[in-house]
Amino acid sequence: MSNQDTTYSCSVLAMPKLYAERSRLWRERHPDRYAVVLANDREHKRKLYWERRAAWIASQGGKCVKCGGTDRLECDHIVRNGKVGHSIWHWSQARRDAELLKCQVLCHECHLTKTMAENKVDPSYRRKYEREIYVGA
């Protein structure tokens, strides 16, 4: 066995570009199969989102730190630092763990109350505000 007669048609540095181009051609030729790949990817991400979120909530005691409730638990940034949204659950473990150190578990109602106070929203706008900011965070 010898690798001496192996010839490379392109440099190693060109490989990512070549791969991207072949990948693009494959997607164009097989839109139906690519749709399946995308759907599987979405399903995988959805699963990761719920699993990681549930595991973190359980690790925090599985209840709201304000009222002790166990219904509709959410991840709250103790000090607001911009919208992170759903994406945190898809970050690398190290980055996610660092961010989650700044978070606490709140039930939906306590989370809404806290967010409204932080944003100085009139309490009479509670349900309207809820619809505007929450999409199952």
CB of 99 or CB of 104, closer to Zn ion: 104
CB 67 within 8 A of CB 104: no
Work out which of 67, 78, 98, 117 binds Zn ion, going by CB under 5 A. Answer: 67
Residue 73 in the binding site for Zn ion (CB under 5 A): no
Residue 64 in the binding site for Zn ion (CB under 5 A): yes
The stretches of 13-125 forming alpha helices (DSSP H) are 15-29, 31-59, 93-100, 108-118
Work out which of 27, 63, 66, 96 binds Zn ion, going by CB under 5 A. Answer: 66
Residue 88 in the binding site for Zn ion (CB under 5 A): no
Choices 27-35, 61-69, 113-121, 128-136; region in contact with Zn ion by CB under 5 A: 61-69
| Cα gap 73→103, rounded to integer Å | 13
Where in the chain does DSSP place strands (E)? Answer: 73-77, 103-107
CB 55 within 8 A of CB 47: no
CB of 18 or CB of 117, closer to Zn ion: 117
